């Protein structure tokens, strides 16, 4: 198993690995939650955005789609954002969810995204069709 290291100027709260070695990091900097994309071999972020909402870091999570072109992000405001990984533009938003949710899962073909806690409350799972 090989290893690599990127020294970041902030503390990462969440990390996701994408196809081809891209990484996404959510960090807390000056009271703002920031999502950054790091390309393979990069020592710093290539793109960053400030995440909307406020709340606890425990309510943050993210997952790359199987093809690596989309990133699903749970924000602190109990919303799920679907982002284009090339531009970090918002493709879609779902929520707010009734209860705090931290669970995301993509189908193998990337056409569906399952979100734990669901729109209808605790214990529910909502599955979205992704276009």
In the chain the domains, ranked by start, together with CATH numbers, are: 12-129 (2.130.10.10)
Average the pLDDT over 59-72 and give the result. Answer: 88
Query: What is the edge-to-edge ordering of all strands in the sheet holding 112-117?
Result: 104-106, 112-117, 124-129
The beta strand positions in 3-76, using DSSP E, are 12-17, 23-29, 32-38, 47-50, 61-64, 70-74
**pLDDT tens-digit series, residues 33-48:** 888 888 887 777 788 8
- Res. 110 pLDDT band, cuts 50 70 90: very high
List residues bridging with 14 in a β-sheet.
26
Average the pLDDT over 11-23 and give the result. Answer: 79
Average the pLDDT over 50-77 and give the result. Answer: 78
pLDDT (0 to 100) of residue 71: 92
pLDDT of 113 above 90 = yes
> Within 8-122, where are the H helices?
none
* Least confident interval from 12-21, 77-86, 88-97: 12-21
How far is 49 from 85, CA to CA, in rounded Å?
11
Of 42, 46, 27, nearest to 86 by C-alpha is 46
pTM above 0.85, yes or no: no
């Amino acid at each position: 198993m090989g290893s690599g290291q990127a020294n970041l100027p902030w503390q990462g709260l969440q990390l996701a690995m994408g196809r081809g070695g891209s990484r996404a990091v959510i960090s807390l900097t000056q009271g703002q939650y920031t999502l950054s994309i790091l390309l393979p071999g990069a020592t710093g972020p290539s793109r960053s955005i400030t995440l909307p909402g406020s709340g606890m870091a425990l309510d943050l999570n993210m997952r790359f789609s199987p093809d690596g072109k989309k990133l699903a992000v749970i924000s602190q405001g109990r919303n799920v954002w679907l982002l284009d990984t090339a531009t970090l533009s918002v493709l879609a938003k779902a929520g707010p969810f009734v209860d705090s949710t931290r669970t995301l899962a993509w189908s193998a073909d990337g056409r569906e995204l399952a979100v734990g806690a669901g729109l209808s409350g605790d214990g529910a799972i909502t599955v979205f069709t992704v276009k």
